[in-house]
Structure 1
């Protein structure tokens, strides 16, 4: 890599740039403080979460573009690029918030999630396409300029973050020292948001300026970093070659069993790309032969690794449909595939060493921007693709309603998922509709269910043992599938109606008890009858119990087998005592009474108690 010729120092221009950078940092800090103050006191724009998150993203990201471009870009062009950067940051974040792909609460409405990383990547890549082109006054700059500016700003960013962190460490140290002698002024100062945000932004801007005027220092750090990374390339190439050579003997089953094969393979592909670029640098110098051959081998290994990653994602999508993570993984495969083709051509093409790598890097920067914009706009919205895929699988019968992840639709896929589950709640298939209505409706409800699962993990196993005992009578009746799925799920409550004893038995039957809706499930282990019914959400609940006579004249198993159970209207009215409703029950005088055992059932949800209460008659 050749060093640029020394430039004449323009002190006046340096002072102007330094002033603009410090002002930029100060303005950013004050704006961030203003947003914090608005959020804390529920003032505009915090009264509109979508607007607040969009402005927060724009205020946070846009100044980095200004700080990086002040020393090399014309102010007019920089101003235009700043407006574009603000529009991208605010627009993508606002769209994600509006679609509820970002979660926010009264405690904090700051942008979060994958969209934040996407905006950062978009602006970093975009800036290093814009600035070099502006420096050379042409649409596409030379590769050496792209390389120099990109790695320079990468090192500057790391050094500036370290400098700002050191600044705060010194303030904390000063606070501790003065606090020991009873002076709390510094401690109180650094705890104030009106000081913290402006001070942090100004110090970061100062660090950018200091590293910019000490270009030799930055280039030195960059050269050392790239040299160290470059000599890791032979090791990475050896690892990748060894992995691919061993794979035919071990088979793909072990790879797929990890359930993270695609992520690991894409990480390996990214390592090969980064280390190859560290060895190539700006392409002006021929590296040692070891690095030259390692780069060619890495360029050829990238293709099979990318193909394996694509196959791993395709298998999961084919089996389980799209999820946001699989959509993001597919996008990464598209980018990796572009690099794989370009680097393979560079490795095989005769002539200047790996020269096609330069065109590949520039082209893939534009491809990466296009992919990111597609992912975070309606064009290839992962939530939309995932919701459509999962609902299609459910309606096609590829996944049963009791095994479907309705929580994903309602809570983790934004407005599209909410609309989808609302439609499923009215689905023509009653099993789908019931399961959709039974899904958690809030994050708190979902958390409570998971907490219950952690606290009562033994119930699901106990229920599984109890359900295996159930003999459905009369012959031909089948235990409802959603009942079994509900009580065998982790965190399910303990099933009532079936004894857990090792020598016990359990019988069940479906009987229409309240005269409306689906039949109820009656279960008994010989002591009493427990009645389960679906509530308005489709989940099974204990509806009531019938206590059997201590001296019955019938065998309950024979009764279930013969279907000798039918509901009867209530024979006794309710009694109001001091404004409260009480239920009367028939007295029991002992075994001399040979009347069929009777018991009241709780009224179905939505019906007034005492007006439609049934008795269950067991007819011998």
Structure 2
């Protein structure tokens, strides 16, 4: 029989032919085998799996192309399926090649920031584009109605969720199987199930069977969908009411609290997308009447009208962060998500304003269709040279490095060097010719050491170099220890104590040291206390507190602040230089035990608050 031309199309819930069912399981098995082949080749040093770029392209294709076949295959003689497979292979090869170029070409790059954003955007674009491919495969054209796209999208989502659940349950059964026989000293099943080949191939077969269940058990999937939609129907008015309540309290609380957190944009965008998702689940394909009485429907519509304000606040929070600290890959993704959130918010608000008496939210479907193409386009553009987030990030951060103070610039270099792929490494290399580095031997040495590192946390600086640069002349030492603004300089005998005691392992008496000192009476005993902080670290600040008694100066304690990113390190360093230090007494004192033992109480966030609880 000749291949079908696609002039007739089966319904969406048409039963799958036997050959198609076998094809789905075999494709899933092949997918597991290809993943195993890559892992085995990497372990044994077999080309091309020894090359990171080749593995990125390989995994990109293996994780996307079989998925199209698994979720779309109906009639294997339909040539449109194979058209889509071939075209998708070309597209994902190009996207994977660009990601491979970005993640390679420099030693010791931090790959997760690059590859996670790539994987997320590709997965979202793949999922949104798949209903369009499925519609064309069945109908023969791209003019998809919203009903068809809605059915395909939810069918795909529930099928994937069911397959994941099926894989988890099957592996639980296999684990119990192995444990049961291990009770009688039969280890063969446990050893078999732990074999790498078995894990990959069995997971592939189980995934194929899970997809097959989702695509053949239409009634069960419909029941799952209706249960999910019923939950969304009950929760949507609550979400809308909370959104309105949040906007009502903002005039009384002010916006400053939002800008002081690092999660305002993420929470606001999550709320926008959550309302969008729940509204879609309630609206469905637009053919069902609204499930709410008039007053409750008005509450939902008011919540949708408030979405542009939530999205605008999220976008403004992202803009403030970018203005303060420049672009990063994470902030670029946040900016794109904020733009998408605002676009969806405007589309849904428009749907509320353009109501019709015979239909609830009549323009919602058109907005979703248009925005689906926007999502697909953005997923492609951000993984191409046209809208490369790392090009934008590098240009922004290099500009900040060139115009920042020496220490602030140095703190951003490690971020550029390790977290921005090939472009970041090349940008740091280009600083070799920058006057800010060519004119400073110390900064140029740090730059070369940064480029030569074999990992982010290693150091290529010899230990003996520290000893060679130890200073003993107080005049030179004072040049490397900054007195905090508004603070008096420490007494003269403290400077002599600094040389003798080698405070902070001598890190503040070296020729390349970067330290700040402040003088104050911190404990209120009438005696001057001196706090010396070393800012030499890239991600941590180390401080030492000195005070004196009748015998002279001595170390009273130490303090550290760890795990600071470039922006936080710059903020903390500037605050120390400006003398912006305040004391905060502990609400909960230490507990004293016999033998001069003490137990320090580390309070919770709520325990720090002094207000009285009822």
- Counterpart in 1 of 2:457? 447
Deviation at 1:244, TM superposition (A): 0.9
Output one character per residue of 1:130-177: Cα deviation in whole Å (capped at 9) or x when no partner: 212332332121111111111111111111111111111111111111
Gaps of 5+ in 2: 1-9, 460-480, 496-509, 517-532, 554-614
State the alpha-carbon separation in 1 of the partners of residues 386 and 211 from structure 2: 37
Change (3 A) 1:502 1:483: farther
- Counterpart in 2 of 1:331? 336
- Counterpart in 2 of 1:69? 72
> What SS does the corresponding residue of 1:231 show, helix, strand or coil?
helix
Q: Select the residue among 356, 360, 371 that pairs with 1:364.
A: 371
- Counterpart in 2 of 1:525? none
Change (3 A) 1:483 1:468: farther
Change (3 A) 1:60 1:427: same
Change (3 A) 1:137 1:263: same
Q: Select the residue among 169, 177, 181 that pairs with 1:178.
A: 181
Partners of 1:96 and 1:376 within 8 A in 2: yes
State the alpha-carbon separation in 2 of the partners of residues 133 and 276 from structure 1: 26
Q: Does 1:469 align with 2:479?
A: no
- Counterpart in 1 of 2:584? none
Output one character per residue of 1:468-508: Cα deviation in whole Å (capped at 9) or x when no partner: 538799xxxxx99973379335556899xx998579999xx
TM-score for both structures, normalised by structure 1: 0.70
Within 5 Å, which residues of 2 pair with 1:404-483? 404-430=411-437, 434-435=442-443, 437-438=445-446, 440-441=450-451, 446-447=456-457, 468-469=489-490, 483=514
Change (3 A) 1:177 1:255: same
Moved more, 82-91 or 358-367: 82-91
> What SS does the corresponding residue of 1:182 show, helix, strand or coil?
coil
Output one character per residue of 1:397-443: Cα deviation in whole Å (capped at 9) or x when no partner: 48864564111111111111111112223321247774464264477
- Counterpart in 2 of 1:92? 95
Q: Select the residue among 319, 324, 340 that pairs with 1:319.
A: 324
Deviation at 1:341, TM superposition (A): 1.7
State the alpha-carbon separation in 2 of the partners of residues 503 and 18 from structure 1: 89
Deviation at 1:93, TM superposition (A): 2.9
Partners of 2:290 and 2:360 within 8 A in 1: no
Gaps of 5+ in 1: 1-5, 450-462, 474-478, 507-620
Change (3 A) 1:434 1:237: farther
Deviation at 1:7, TM superposition (A): 7.1
- Counterpart in 2 of 1:381? 388
- Counterpart in 1 of 2:564? none
> What SS does the corresponding residue of 1:99 show, helix, strand or coil?
helix
Partners of 2:107 and 2:454 within 8 A in 1: no
Partners of 1:346 and 1:355 within 8 A in 2: yes
> What SS does the corresponding residue of 1:82 show, helix, strand or coil?
helix
Q: Does 1:484 align with 2:515?
A: yes
Output one character per residue of 1:244-275: Cα deviation in whole Å (capped at 9) or x when no partner: 11111111111111122111111111111111
Partners of 2:68 and 2:85 within 8 A in 1: yes
Within 5 Å, which residues of 2 pair with 1:108-123? 112-123=115-126
- Counterpart in 2 of 1:169? 172
Q: Does 1:18 align with 2:21?
A: yes
Higher-Rg structure is 1
State the alpha-carbon separation in 1 of the partners of residues 360 and 93 from structure 2: 42
State the alpha-carbon separation in 2 of the partners of residues 243 and 182 from structure 1: 61
Change (3 A) 1:262 1:240: same
Partners of 2:103 and 2:422 within 8 A in 1: yes
Q: Does 1:35 align with 2:38?
A: yes
Moved more, 90-99 or 375-384: 90-99
Deviation at 1:323, TM superposition (A): 1.1
Change (3 A) 1:7 1:268: closer
State the alpha-carbon separation in 2 of the partners of residues 493 and 240 from structure 1: 43
State the alpha-carbon separation in 1 of the partners of residues 288 and 400 from structure 2: 55
Partners of 1:401 and 1:435 within 8 A in 2: no
Change (3 A) 1:443 1:273: farther
TM-score for both structures, normalised by structure 2: 0.71
Task: Name the count of aligned residue pairs.
Answer: 479
Within 5 Å, which residues of 2 pair with 1:255-334? 255-290=258-293, 292-334=297-339
Q: Does 1:340 align with 2:345?
A: yes
Deviation at 1:84, TM superposition (A): 2.9
Deviation at 1:74, TM superposition (A): 6.1
Partners of 2:13 and 2:218 within 8 A in 1: no
Change (3 A) 1:264 1:60: same
Partners of 2:27 and 2:208 within 8 A in 1: yes
Change (3 A) 1:16 1:320: same
Output one character per residue of 1:290-347: Cα deviation in whole Å (capped at 9) or x when no partner: 5633442232111011111111111111121111111101111221122122111100
Moved more, 373-382 or 357-366: 373-382
Partners of 2:318 and 2:334 within 8 A in 1: yes
Deviation at 1:350, TM superposition (A): 2.6
Partners of 1:102 and 1:113 within 8 A in 2: no
> What SS does the corresponding residue of 1:447 show, helix, strand or coil?
coil
> What SS does the corresponding residue of 2:17 show, helix, strand or coil?
helix
Change (3 A) 1:281 1:499: closer
Relative contact order: is structure 1 or structure 2 higher (C-alpha 8 Å, sep ≥ 6)? 2
State the alpha-carbon separation in 2 of the partners of residues 62 and 79 from structure 1: 11
Partners of 2:513 and 2:536 within 8 A in 1: no
Change (3 A) 1:397 1:504: farther
> What SS does the corresponding residue of 2:435 show, helix, strand or coil?
coil
Change (3 A) 1:10 1:152: closer
Partners of 1:499 and 1:505 within 8 A in 2: no
- Counterpart in 2 of 1:244? 247
Change (3 A) 1:413 1:189: same
Deviation at 1:8, TM superposition (A): 12
Change (3 A) 1:29 1:155: same
Deviation at 1:383, TM superposition (A): 1.3
